[in-house]
Structures are given as C-alpha cells and as structure tokens.
Amino acid sequence: MQVDTVLVPVDGSEAAMEAVEYATAVAERYEAGVHAVYLVAENAGDAMANGDISAASVAENAESIMATVRTLAGEVPVTHSSACGFSVTRLSQHPGSVILDVAETLEADFVVVPREPVTGNPEAVIEKAAEYVLAHASQPVLSV
C-alpha cells in the first residue's frame, strides 16, 4: 500500500490527540506526512457569524492545537488546515462530510478518526463524524 498523506481531524479533545498519535505511527510506517484538519465547532462558527467571538481567537485556539499536533508528530512532517464542521446554510455539511471533502481535496491515502465519544465537551466535533467517515470514505480508515 502506498501512503503519502495521513489525514487526522482534530478538535482539541483527548480522543483527537490520541488519533494524532496513531496517525503519526501510520505515517512513520509508510514514510508519509500527516495533515491535521482542525474542525471548528458549531457553537464557535455561530459565535463568529454573530460577532460574539473573533476569528482571531478561533485561529489562536487552532494554532494552539496544531502546536500540540506538531509536538506529538515529532519528526513526521505535519501540514494543517481548518474547516467549519457545520453550516447553517448548507444542511448537508457536517463534520463527517467535511473530513471526507478534505480527504478528497488533499488526495489523502489514509484517514485516522477517534471513535470514542467525548461526552460533555462542546468543542468536540469529531465524535459526530466517525460513523459517517467509516461508512463513506474511499480511503482506508483507522478508527481509534
């Protein structure tokens, strides 16, 4: 199997950071890179649209999470992007479809998603996506 890019969605949760560790292991095994996509939670997207929080504060949070991702990845090359996990104007947009859209755009060869729900954390977006990604991904998926 040829793997150049391992995609891992992150939202700051412990489960997502554990998925980063697995994504890094897969990337090391195949001498690939990791692409971490930060999924902005529904409440953060709404708050930005309403002017309740600034895009700069969301970007600072994303950069903090990406710093942790880079630390966990060690020597494995890491790229990253951000995406809103939900849309009030596009009903078909939810975290699972966003993850798969990013996977297709990047031509990712492998996807790692956390499967365990993160109860009570409003920033945990990915827990709502794992089932969708597992059911619809065209790439191999490791659910951790």
Amino acid at 124: A
pTM, 2 dp:
0.85
pLDDT for position 39:
85
Name which of 2, 38, 39, 7 is nearest 23 in CA terms: 7
> Regarding predicted confidence, which is higher, 76 or 91?
76
Q: State the number of CA atoms in the 13 A half-sphere of 138 facing the CB.
A: 10
Q: Answer yes or no: are the C-beta atoms of 100 and 136 closer than 8 Å.
A: yes
Residue with structure tokens 């939202």? 11
pLDDT at 52 over 90: no
pLDDT tens digits, one per residue of 82-128: 887 665 555 556 788 889 999 999 999 999 998 766 555 555 667 66
Average pLDDT on 78-82 reads 94
> pLDDT confidence of 141, banded at 50, 70, 90?
very high
Beta strand 5-10 with 110-113 is parallel
Give me the domains of the chain, ranges plus CATH numbers. 5-143 (3.40.50.620)
pLDDT for position 8:
97
pLDDT at 137 over 80: yes
pLDDT for position 142:
95
CA distances from 29 to 5, 48, 76 (A): 12, 39, 10
pLDDT for position 82:
87
pLDDT at 51 over 60: yes
The contacts found for 71-76 with CB under 8 angstroms, 24 or more apart, are: 72/17, 72/20, 72/21, 72/24, 73/20, 73/24, 73/27, 73/34, 74/24, 76/24, 76/27, 76/28, 76/32, 76/33, 76/34
